[in-house]
A = this chain, B = another copy of it.
Amino acid sequence: MTMAAKFKIGTLVVIGVGLIGGSFALALKKAKAVKRVIGVGRTRRNLAAALELGIIDEIALDAGAAVERADLVFLGVPVGQMGQTMARIAPHLTQRAVITDAGSTKQDVIEQARRFLNDHFKRFVPGHPIAGTENSGAAAAFPDLYAGKKVILTPQRETARSAVKLVRDAWLACGAEVVRLGAREQDVIFGAVSHLPHVAAYALLGTLARRKDAPKLLGYSGAGLRDTVRIAGSSPEMWRDICIANRDTLLALLDDYLDELELARAAIASNDGDALAAMFERARAARRRWLLRARA
């Protein structure tokens, strides 16, 4: 891979060595695009596992001391912890350190970065890799998580081009496709295709879980329910933060969903098979077009 020969990060500091941050480190290591990875996190056991698994080369107990050596800092923490993490590291960042994140929401993270990274904001490249599984933690990380996946970058007016280049090259080395979007646009897009579906899936499984007969019910379920609620296995902490960070956009989308469900409810209640079939058919047709385009 020519990328690996041309491009190398000296020291990468990953703050939050979970599925996302851990896979970023593993992908860069696989591409021989990083010399040394330092892991910072809240849970000693998770960091020990990350070290054992070769995801990181060193455990740092103090985020401040760790970032003093960083060429690239990767913020892999839930979006609700971005502000405090940035405030913690800002006094210790050097002038060469580039900072990036993997938060699902970008307007909120950018606002926090403006507030807490101070002079370093110009070397902060907001990012969002469109990859993941329903599993969490360092043990869930794997080097090919990002292969062929999109990574959204939403640099701001002030963002240094050299910083964008570094982060872009890092993601390319991970095998990802890099796409630039406006922060607001990205929040609407992922509100619709990711945040709303997570709320829908958590609530669907939550509806069943509330029932006394839940274990019996679930015992009869097939692949349909299993796939529909797979993402309800995701980290509640991470998704709580995302929902609140993207609140206004998500509430508008959630209202659209509630309206659509009410329409379906009304059609069922009035035995209006034509209206119901038309709703189902519109959804099915959208899915068919989408899958055809995805294959093209």
What CA separation (Å) do A221 and B281 show in the bound complex? 20
**Copies per assembly:** 2
Q: Is A203 an interface residue, CB under 8 A from the partner?
A: yes
Q: Which residues of B contact A281 (CB under 8 A)?
A: 236
Q: Is A57 an interface residue, CB under 8 A from the partner?
A: no
Q: Is A225 an interface residue, CB under 8 A from the partner?
A: yes
What CA separation (Å) do A254 and B266 show in the bound complex? 11
Within the complex, what minimum Cβ distance (angstroms) separates A41 from chain B?
A: 19
Q: A197–B204 contact, CB under 8 A?
A: yes
Q: Which residues of B contact A284 (CB under 8 A)?
A: 202, 232-234, 236
Q: A196–B203 contact, CB under 8 A?
A: no
A sample of 16 more A-B contacts (CB under 8 A), given A205-B283, A218-B286, is A133-B223, A200-B261, A202-B279, A202-B283, A203-B263, A206-B283, A207-B256, A207-B260, A209-B285, A210-B260, A219-B290, A229-B287, A232-B284, A233-B284, A240-B277, A254-B264
What CA separation (Å) do A139 and B35 show in the bound complex? 53
Determine the interface band of chain A, counting residues with CB < 8 A from chain B.
Answer: 35 or more
- Which residues of A pack against B, CB within 8 Å? 80, 130-133, 149-150, 152, 189-190, 192-194, 196-211, 214-225, 227-234, 236-237, 239-241, 243-244, 247, 250-251, 253-265, 268-269, 271, 273, 276-290, 293-294
- In the complex formed, the residue of B with least CB distance to A206 is B283
Q: B229–A231 contact, CB under 8 A?
A: no
The verdict on A261 contacting B218 (CB below 8 Å), with A209-B282, A237-B277 known, is: no
Name A228's contact: one of B149, B230, B258 (CB within 8 Å).
Answer: B230
Within the complex, what minimum Cβ distance (angstroms) separates A249 from chain B?
A: 11
In the A-B complex, list the 3 residue pairs whose CB atoms are closest, starting with the nearest.
A209-B286, A236-B280, A193-B221
Name A282's contact: one of B206, B261, B293 (CB within 8 Å).
Answer: B206
What CA separation (Å) do A193 and B284 show in the bound complex? 20
What CA separation (Å) do A152 and B271 show in the bound complex? 26
